[in-house]
Amino acid sequence: MPPRLNLVLAHKLEAAPLIAQFGLQQRSASPLVYAHEKGLQLIVGGEGVPAARSAVKYLAGEQGEDSNTAWLNIGIAGHQSRNIGDSLLANKIVHRASGERYYPVPLFHDFGADELHTVDKPEYDYPDDVAYDMEAAGFFSEATQYTTMELVQCFKIVSDNKAQNADLVSAESVKQLLADNLKTIKQLVEAMLDLQSSYAEFTAAPEQLQKLLVNVHLTATQQAQVKRLLQRYQAFGLQDQLDDLLQANGISGRELVQRMETTLRAAGA
Amino acid sequence: MFSAIYIEKAAKDCARAQSILQKLPLLPVIEIEQYGEIFNRSNQNFRLQKQKPALILAQKHGNKVLPTPPGYGFEHLLESGQQPDPEQDRQGYYFSHMLNCVYDCRYCFLQGMYRSANYVLYTNFEDFTAEIIAKADNSGSVFYSGYDCDSLALEPISGFCDYFLPVFARLPKSVLEIRTKSTQVRSFLEREPMPNCVIAMSFSPEAVARAMEHKVPAVQKRIDALGRLQQAGWPVALRFEPVIASEDTLADYKTLFEQIFRTIDPSSLHSSSLGEFRLPVDYYKRMVKLYPHEPLLARETVRSEGMISLATQQSFSLQALEELLFHYINEEGYYRCA
């Protein structure tokens, strides 16, 4: 099964509780990638914007162009005023170095929401009342190259704030913060998988297309025509009339298109 | 109702924007530079966003009031007893204080026109007013609202009627048409009726309404709301657009007309119109991508001059439907929407 949701994390420390929670298995060919047979995949990409970009690029490269996979960046973040342990989904990401702004689509609720500034080194001053991380801008700008924007989100857990700055963040505290938020992360993952399913339902090629391609040679144009004709069959509940066509041998692409159009016309479509 | 509120920096100081923010205190507010950076982005999906759209509060720049294309509305209809005079043709204009609609009609061209399902609400009503006043003339210009949105459906948030009805009360020679499917008519019923403000309600037969007009008030509720407005003395109009032809179309419209004219008095109807399902090819293609399994969009189509319409049904013609309508209304108040 191709991946349906890619989780992108910076550190193994952050990833460990998720790997356990979702029963992900390390892929032997790519030791930083962990996958599950149900379409969940996780990559430990390293710290910083370039690393996040590379991690996304790596997974996207494996998946090919026509992907409807969802992407979720999970990690810790500093915040001027939020309590440690609070979680949030970024609804605005500002890359401080370049000034570029990104706006993840706020479709998921009950997960908190805040502005997130991506910085190149740990933020100790927290000048604005926003969250601070080191990867989101790279992750978001890259992941939205491969799928629709609604399926790309950044989830952050506050690890430090003005009262308890980043120097006090330890390996143990990071692990604990992720563990404490596992239930929320699981809910978010499920919500994103639901959205990904509904997106795939109307964007994926009809399954009968592959079956037709076994027997009939179709040019690229004819493939597009047949794809649309199959969708029209489905719209009018005519799938059972495909049986003969699926078994047809030796007909040309042109003939296939004509036969499908004739059937639709006869059905009054 | 909304997933979040985006607000342009320039709109932050606007009293109307502030008042809207106060009405929605629990929503995340996200500051943006220009609404286009949210609304016009590529790589977003209208259908997914429609699950929970955000509200974008923005300022409208550039032209706010535009001439209508020929055949758009009723401006060419003559007042009773008036003789045709090309020199005195009334000019039609449309303006949109909002982009996108809270309803989700599967035939709606907005799905193909915009990349985003978020609602853009322009808060600088005063700038619209200035252009309306500049364009209003003594020939009785007609101003249409409800092309890019439903004019009434968001009234409790937008305050559109509360603001614009008094504007048109000061422009008695000009006419405002408010096109809607909403039953939120309280802002009209609480005022004295205005002879130059027409509430035009859109209807489809029950079967089409049920299958395609998602989140829209039921047909009977719309009829009741329009009936209340008519009884209160407001000019009301009927819009039957788009007509989606099928084998049962004439029978379905006969039922609809009977249902409507049990409540609506045709003798004091402002106007009626019919218009077929017709879209620019590009919009249609985008709609097909969003809803590939929608029966309406899977039907056979014909293309002509960059527009798509449904292939003709042998059992149906728009003329036959017009003749049916003329059993109930006077032809003088009718136009076919181009």
Flag whether residue B211 sits within 8 Å of chain A, measured between CB atoms: no
Task: With CB atoms and an 8 Å threshold, state whether A107 touches B48.
Answer: yes
Residue B89 has pLDDT above 80, yes or no: no
Q: Which residue of B has its CA nearest to A205?
A: B292
Mean pLDDT, consecutive 10-residue stretches, chain A (269 aa), reads 90 94 90 88 97 96 83 98 97 98 96 97 95 98 96 98 92 94 97 96 89 89 94 92 80 92 86
pLDDT at A152: 98
Which pair of structure tokens corresponds to residue B136?
Answer: 């209003």
Task: Count CB atoms within 10 A of the CB of residue B19.
Answer: 12
Q: Which residue of B has its CA nearest to A228?
A: B292
Give chain A positions within 8 Å (CB) of B47: 202
Cα–Cα dist B53/B102, whole Å: 9
Which A residues 200-259 touch B at CB under 8 Å? 202-203, 228, 231-232, 234-236
Cα–Cα dist B276/A31, whole Å: 60
The residue among B45, B288, B300 with the most chain A CBs within 10 A of its CB, best to mutate, is B45
Give chain A positions within 8 Å (CB) of B119: none
pLDDT digits (tens, 9 = 90+) for B229-244: 999 999 999 999 999 9
pLDDT at B77: 76
User: Looking at A35-39, B161-165, B174-178, which range is the least confident one?
Assistant: A35-39
Flag whether residue B302 sits within 8 Å of chain A, measured between CB atoms: no
Cα–Cα dist A108/A197, whole Å: 15
Closest Cα to residue B105, out of B277, B234, B315, B335?
B277
Closest Cα to residue A175, out of A42, A73, A75?
A75
Residue B88 has pLDDT above 70, yes or no: no
Task: With CB atoms and an 8 Å threshold, state whether B28 touches A148.
Answer: no
Cα–Cα dist B124/B14, whole Å: 8
Residue B85 has pLDDT above 70, yes or no: no
pLDDT at A148: 96
Residue B146 has pLDDT above 90, yes or no: no
Cα–Cα dist B166/B119, whole Å: 25
Closest Cα to residue B181, out of B242, B261, B94?
B242
Q: How many CB pairs under 8 A join A and B?
A: 80
Residue written as token pair 């500093």 = A78
Cα–Cα dist A74/A185, whole Å: 9
Q: What is the enclosing helix (H) or strand (E) of B200? A: strand B197-202
Q: Which residue of A has its CA nearest to B47?
A: A199
Flag whether residue B3 sits within 8 Å of chain A, measured between CB atoms: yes
The answer to whether B64 and B33 have CB atoms below 8 angstroms apart is no
Residue B57 has pLDDT above 60, yes or no: yes
Flag whether residue A30 sits within 8 Å of chain B, measured between CB atoms: no
B121-148 mean pLDDT: 93
Residue B76 has pLDDT above 80, yes or no: no
- The whole-chain average pLDDT of chain B stands at 93
Task: Count CB atoms within 10 A of the CB of residue A120.
Answer: 12
| Chain-centre distance for alpha carbon B272 | 14
Task: With CB atoms and an 8 Å threshold, state whether A106 touches B292.
Answer: no
pLDDT at B78: 55
The answer to whether B159 and B97 have CB atoms below 8 angstroms apart is no
pLDDT at A56: 96
Flag whether residue A107 sits within 8 Å of chain B, measured between CB atoms: yes
B199-225 mean pLDDT: 97
Cβ burial of A141 (10 Å; 0-12, 13-18, 19+) is buried
* Cα-Cα-Cα-Cα dihedral sign, residues B76, B79, B84, B90: negative
pLDDT at A215: 84
* Cα-Cα-Cα-Cα dihedral sign, residues A158, A163, A168, A172: negative
Q: Which residue of B has its CA nearest to A235?
A: B293
pLDDT at A210: 87
SS in 3 state form for A196-264? HHHHHHHHCCCHHHHHHHHHCCCCHHHHHHHHHHHHHHHHCCCHHHHHHHHHCCCCCHHHHHHHHHHHH
Residue B165 has pLDDT above 90, yes or no: yes
Write down the H helix ranges in B7-62. 15-23, 36-39, 46-49
User: Looking at B70-84, B118-132, B288-302, which range is the least confident one?
Assistant: B70-84
